[in-house]
Amino acid sequence: MNICVRLREERERLAMSQEKFGALGGVQKRAQINYESGERQPDAGYLAAIAAAGADVLYILTGQRTSGAAATTPTLAPDEEVLLDNFRNAPAGVRAGVKTTLETFAPGAGGCKRGKAA
């Protein structure tokens, strides 16, 4: 994952449109689109401005979350969001079956430990 993807994730985490998020950073919507597509890189002034609005700039630049609220709220990939939504809306019996199935494949299941040969 790179800066443009993490920038979009932060904007979405803060529930802002490209236009509104760009305005926080002092740029037009087109510039925000360019940042999120990787066509352009944001400058320090933009990053400082969005940080003041709650964006986790350390995460955007490095992929490492800062401590605090942003660090405790993981961002889900789109396919993970769909999976979680489907799970939450499934009948109780289906959820129980999914849990049982996933436990079977979890690290440590069946006597195998991650990184060790069986």
Domain extents in the chain: 3-72, 78-106
At 95 the pLDDT is 83
CATH fold of 3-72, please? 434 Repressor (Amino-terminal Domain) (1.10.260)
What is the average pLDDT across 40-66?
93
DSSP 55-74: --HHHHHHSPPPSSHHHHSP
What is the average pLDDT across 38-44?
94
At 107 the pLDDT is 63
What is the average pLDDT across 110-115?
38
Alpha-carbon distance 77 to 21, whole Å?
A: 20
DSSP 107: T
**Whether this model's pTM surpasses 0.85:** no
Residue type, 10: E
Alpha-carbon distance 118 to 78, whole Å?
A: 34
